[in-house]
Structure 1
Amino acid sequence: MTLRTPRGTSRGTPPRTPCPAPSRPPGLGPRTWAQVPRRSRQVLVVTGHDRNSPVSTAILYEHTEAGWRAGASRAAHNALHGWTDDHREGDLRSPIGVHTLTDAGGRLADPGTRLPYERSARFTASGTGFEGEPLSGSFDHVIAIDYNRRPGTSPLDRTRPLGPDRGGGIWLHIDHGGPTRGCISLSEGAMRELLRALDPDREPVVVMGDAASLER
């Protein structure tokens, strides 16, 4: 009797098995990972190219029975001067850290998010950015990053629990083609996809900072 070798394998070589998903999203060191709530099952990782760069990458990780699975990698902008672990009002740096994502809104209608969503004409951006690009439409869709704010309120709520000098109003919003004052910006399509993907029952968070800081 002749034994047949399965297609794609050779005698003596075991069939390949898929690589297991990582136990935590890549690029997050033990100190950073320890700040992520244990119940969070959605982690948006925004990784800055370096400490002083306004350019970053965003990936949404979802926890499955097999481990953490990565979504698409999206280009993003952060603040003009990069990142800081001691954010202050007007420093033009984005705050490094782990923050919950609980509330959304925008000038346009809800695109289908499960987060609480407030539609208001007050989500209006005007003027030009640091590179002369128009800011109009930047707040058509936003997600509040829970840095120095009260979770469970409109992104427009200006309560600052840490005090006004620590800044606030840090959002995920639509990219206008240049650096921000402190927010994280994504393309319109990526923002709409993110709004539809986030599920409050999965307790989503954003982990954000330059690559070297997040690896700690």
Structure 2
Amino acid sequence: MLSTVLTRAATPLLAAGLLVVGCAKPAPSPPHSGPAHTQNPPTTAGPQSPRFPQGKALREPALPAEIPRLGPRTRDRVPDGTNQAVVVTGEDRDSSRSTAVLYERDPVKGWKAVSGPWPAHNALNGWTDEHWAGDRRSPIGVFGLTDAGGRLPDPGTKIPYHQEEDLFAAGGTGFLGESLEGSFDYVVAINYNRRPGASPLYDDDSRPMGWDRGGGVWFHVDHEGPTQACVSLTRGRMRQLLLWLDPDERPVVVMGDAAALAR
């Protein structure tokens, strides 16, 4: 009888305890000890290519440098294998004033100026694409430089030098009344309408284009005035030119007014 009473008395207490337990929030799960799960795990970047570094564009190799201010037609006239060029640029088509710059060509880097600009004179009436005897214009073009000479002894040039004290003597006056004495102390023949391999004085019927197309076009010592068709430099520059020219480098002169050379 007593046990029955105790059982009946404990029943409401047990029910109350179940209600308390049933309404309580479940205990939180223990923290997960493994790595956190992500929906989009980071992508592991592979090693960068040393040939294409990140953030840098691929650069094209630099082309060999060209002689500035020469157009494609003029550049094409410079022979393959030529590594020395004297560029004589006239102020304009009808001017007798010009400048000269010496260039050398490196097989990898291309053309580079090595001396100049030097002041120079050309023909009284300027330049022409078609030179005729007596027109008092200098021929435009690219011409070889193979022979030299003069009234004075060879200063040490590598190209053939022909000394003639009497035949290279100059006299008289120029277009401005200036003295021509000493103009041919040093000369370098410009291979316009001439046969290479002979003295600059050599003239006969072997002129390829005939006598009416002129000839005897030289670099020579400046007399402070226009020329008939030649290009003149100061005595010191003529000597420097002679010492610089090397036949193994197949030197040429590129000459004309600025507009003509830019074609």
> TM-score when scaled to structure 2?
0.73
1:38 shift after superposition:
1.1
Tell me what 1:88 maps to: 132
Query: Whose helix fraction is larger, Structure 1's or Structure 2's?
Result: 2
Which residue type is aligned with residue 183 of structure 1? Answer: C
1:100 to 144, 162, 167: 144
Which residue type is aligned with residue 181 of structure 2? Answer: S
Structure 1 regions of 5+ residues with no counterpart? 1-19
1:68 shift after superposition:
1.1
Deviates more, 1:153-162 or 1:137-146: 153-162
Contact 1:21–1:69 (Cα < 8 Å) also in 2 = no
Contact 1:79–1:93 (Cα < 8 Å) also in 2 = yes
Deviates more, 1:95-104 or 1:156-165: 156-165
Tell me what 1:162 maps to: 209
Aligned residues: 197
Tell me what 2:224 maps to: 177
Deviates more, 1:64-73 or 1:192-201: 64-73
Specify which structure has the bigger relative contact order, considering alpha-carbon pairs within 8 angstroms and separated by 6 or more residues.
1
Query: Whose strand fraction is larger, Structure 1's or Structure 2's?
Result: 1
1:63 shift after superposition:
0.8
* SS at 2:89 equivalent: strand
2:105 to 60, 63, 69: 63
1:23 shift after superposition:
2.1
Once residues 255 and 65 of structure 2 are traced to their aligned partners in structure 1, the CA distance between those partners, rounded to angstroms, is 19
Structure 2 regions of 5+ residues with no counterpart? 1-61
Tell me what 1:23 maps to: 65
> TM-score when scaled to structure 1?
0.89
Which residue type is aligned with residue 186 of structure 2? Answer: H
Contact 1:21–1:68 (Cα < 8 Å) also in 2 = no
Percentage of pairs with the same residue: 61
Structure 1 consecutive aligned stretches of length 4 or more whose deviation exceeds 4 Å: none
Contact 1:58–1:73 (Cα < 8 Å) also in 2 = yes
Contact 1:45–1:207 (Cα < 8 Å) also in 2 = yes
Structure having the higher Rg: 2
